[in-house]
Amino acid sequence: MTDHIKVNRTGGILTLIMNRPDKKNALTDAMYGVLADQIEAARNDPAIRVVVLRGEGDMFTAGNDVMEFASSKPGGLTNVLRFIQAIAETDKPLIAAVQGRAVGVGTTMLLHCDYVLLADDARLSTPFVNLGLVPEAGASMLLPARIGHLRAFAMLALGEAIGAQDAVAWGLATAVVPASDCESACNIDPVRG
């Protein structure tokens, strides 16, 4: 368990909050483990009707904790794949509330969400090429299918970031709200209204 993921259950809503704002919510293997455990458990819990992902502070997530990933031994980061599998396979509606930047997996995880709410200050980026990495979470297949080859190429191969309005226009997100409303907009249970 890690203190860097807050878990909040209110009615039928399970909210998972990346809580490492001093590190821009960069994800560690332990954080991935808690996220995966919670999403997997929600699948078997009829009381949970929806899962919300969000970040604490001024940024959704900076992506993976590069220092941890660079120093890990091969096969040492077991929870990353578990998280990606959990978001890809969950049968519960998955909602993301994104403020500030969503970098790398912060953007690619959105491809698995059913409803993506962006604050008006949100910027989505996939700087894999700049880091010498390949996109994760099926992004090299899912992103072109969602937004077209040319736009996906610009994001994945050129590392171009996009703003909230373009993300909605391209079909990467559902809606844009003022940054001050992003968190509260996800607190409605879609079953009870």
The dihedral of CA 46, 142, 100, 179: what is its sign?
negative
Spans of all domains in the chain: 5-180
Please provide residue 45's backbone torsions phi and psi, each rounded to the nearest 5 degrees: -115, 105
For 26, what's the count of Cα atoms within 13 Å in the CB-facing half-sphere? 9
- The pLDDT value recorded for residue 169 is 97
CATH fold of the domain at 5-180: 2-enoyl-CoA Hydratase; Chain A, domain 1 (3.90.226)
**Gap between the Cα atoms of 186 and 26, Å rounded:** 22
Helix/strand/coil for 172: coil
Question: What pLDDT score does 193 carry?
Answer: 43
When mean pLDDT is compared across 9-13, 54-58, 76-80, 164-168, the lowest value belongs to 76-80
Q: Which residue has the tokens 């909602």?
A: 95
Tracing tokens 């610009």 back to the chain, one arrives at 154
Of the pLDDT bands very low, low, confident and very high (cuts 50, 70, 90), residue 186 is: low
- Helix axes 79-89 and 29-43, enclosed angle (nearest 10): 30
List, for residues 105-160, the tens digit of each pLDDT value: 999 999 999 999 999 999 999 998 888 888 888 899 999 999 999 999 999 999 99
